[in-house]
Structure 1
């Protein structure tokens, strides 16, 4: 039963009270919705066999991050104020926001090295497609050279992890000598290891960004191999070098930057024998040991292993893209001769 406490205008509750109640409700609803969305994504990855079963978050090891919706922050004139904060954050912006855009979500996070990051989600104007020159490039990834292009250009592998391997090993040894627990010395040693990892990852990410941007700007179509990197890193002798090369990260950057500028990325089937196929006459060799870097075909053409593979990749990739067919290994040579009957490799010294 409801009781009428007062008439309108006579000792009414302050209007601010209703606003506070509405604010708390909206914040609680946003937090609940955000938590459900994140947990739903975790279960979707588990049932899709892309991730393990969701685990409880650890105070020490879990990524420290929080998302703020529009009701929990203010952004004006390049100054960001989060809820329950009187002063704006002291931020060094990596780049200005697109003109006229308004952030819809702010994510604040802290990496293991101790640095804080703020990410703003906003609508960005549609980028204008770049002019399309009549060129297509094939890319063969490797360890000695990070990339080999069908033009013959080779991009050196910076080997960022190897450059800081001694520093990383020393920091890890210092951490291993600290007593287990939550002591200040162990936390300090853990941050030192994290800083080395952050330095390596930052340099690698910067190099890949510059490289993929250049490739996207110069070529309307880029053809790459669809490598199973997750299976390749199971090789213990090559796992460290493959992880340092970051082939998966390179492909991810290449694909989304190509989408920005209206370019195309084509992935060739991983079983296509690009290294064993002569780019001049089309003869398929029976085998190609990894230690063979230069070889001479029966047609008389001398090939660099990586350049030859890079030349074969765009040819078959563009053909499959036009015809709509899958790119599968070639089982015999164009002349009908079996690949097993070819002459053995002639090693170039």
Structure 2
């Protein structure tokens, strides 16, 4: 099993300068090889493999680009591998992935990837060429470090992402717990089939007024001036704070849901289609429904839980969880309704979560511990979950 850890680092002045030079050298190598490949393709109708261009790096260091020898050589090689992957993605999916573009110096997010990184203690990260860099390691790093990505976000902060392999496989929680159905929404971040509702922090709505004020100030700054760069960083920090608030709420909600259940069922929503609505686009984007489903899926794999997606066409909101009666229509403005057959009163989101849990249990029983399951469950455990649901 592989895991990734994002750690904030605090490089000193010398290390920040070296990181900036590494960004520039990786961009220089990427753009130079991209131009060479385009020229060769236009002249011969084909270009060489990426391995032949990597052999040019030592030659460039000794001739017209001696500054390349000052930075990490593995970062330069990884930059060329990224270019080769961009070519492969383009030829495999030409309609979906665009042709590789030249990298700009003024990009908001800059990064490079390297190897041979380690975490010797909770306060430092050791990186090639940089040495020991101050860091805030909040959790124990498990497994063997494969690669490290050093990045600088638009707010000016630095992070390192460690990709680790050979991580210990988690064990499934003992005992059979019912399948937990989760209904994602805009007003509430999630409604669970056990009756728990997690409120949506609405980070964008709360910080939108301050963000608009700072963006107006940015528009009045002269382009290329130092005051514009400072104001641009202020706007970036507001964006980062909004994203961090949203990310923190989703991580807490998904972690709690996975720990308290042995199987998770969610609805396969068409989030991209919902974001095209003029009235709901901003609220849907602020709720981050796709990110919540993604976190639930990989956290279920981490902790040995089952994970299943229910079809978006399943009438989870319009179906009565007591008698099974399905309404002909149910507008989004109706948040509570009463079943005309059995008279049961339902909260729209909680009722949908209960129906999602039952449909997820049926799908798990149909899969019988083989296809479509995330985790380490078997057929017996799958049947037990269905019986408990």
> TM-score normalized by structure 2?
0.69
What is the distance in 1 between the residues matched to 2:73 and 2:157? Answer: 28
Deviations 1:197-236 (A, max 9, x none): 1111112111111111110111111111001111111112
Q: Corresponding residue for 2:127?
A: 82
Q: Is the 8 A contact 2:188 2:200 kept in 1?
A: yes
Residues 30 and 91 of structure 1: is their aligned pair in 2 closer, same or farther, counting only changes over 3 Å?
Answer: closer
What is the distance in 2 between the residues matched to 1:122 and 1:318? Answer: 33
Residues 107 and 168 of structure 1: is their aligned pair in 2 closer, same or farther, counting only changes over 3 Å?
Answer: same
Q: Corresponding residue for 2:85?
A: 40
User: Secondary structure, in 3 states, of the residue corresponding to 2:132?
Assistant: coil
What is the distance in 1 between the residues matched to 2:193 and 2:256? Answer: 15
- 2:353 maps to 1:310: yes
- 2:169 maps to 1:126: yes
CA RMSD of aligned residues (A): 2.6
How far is 1:88 from its partner?
A: 1.9
How far is 1:28 from its partner?
A: 5.2
Residues 189 and 155 of structure 1: is their aligned pair in 2 closer, same or farther, counting only changes over 3 Å?
Answer: same
Residues 276 and 187 of structure 1: is their aligned pair in 2 closer, same or farther, counting only changes over 3 Å?
Answer: same
Larger CA deviation: 140-149 vs 117-126: 117-126
Give the unaligned 5+ runs of structure 1.
1-20, 326-349
What is the distance in 1 between the residues matched to 2:249 and 2:97? Answer: 28
Which entry has the higher C-alpha Rg, 1 or 2? 1
Q: Corresponding residue for 2:110?
A: 64
How far is 1:193 from its partner?
A: 0.6
- 2:272 maps to 1:200: no
Deviations 1:46-91 (A, max 9, x none): 8446544432222112521111222xx5754564343434x52122
Residues 47 and 151 of structure 1: is their aligned pair in 2 closer, same or farther, counting only changes over 3 Å?
Answer: same
Q: Is the 8 A contact 2:78 2:114 kept in 1?
A: no
Residues 246 and 301 of structure 1: is their aligned pair in 2 closer, same or farther, counting only changes over 3 Å?
Answer: same
What is the distance in 2 between the residues matched to 1:202 and 1:46? Answer: 36
- 2:141 maps to 1:97: yes
Larger CA deviation: 116-125 vs 272-281: 116-125
* Length, aligned pairs only: 296
Aligned counterparts, 1:111-260, within 5 A: 111-123=153-165, 124-180=167-223, 182-260=224-302
- 2:76 maps to 1:31: yes
Which is helix-richer, 1 or 2? 2
Q: Is the 8 A contact 2:75 2:113 kept in 1?
A: no
Q: Corresponding residue for 1:340?
A: none
How far is 1:29 from its partner?
A: 7.1
How far is 1:174 from its partner?
A: 1.0
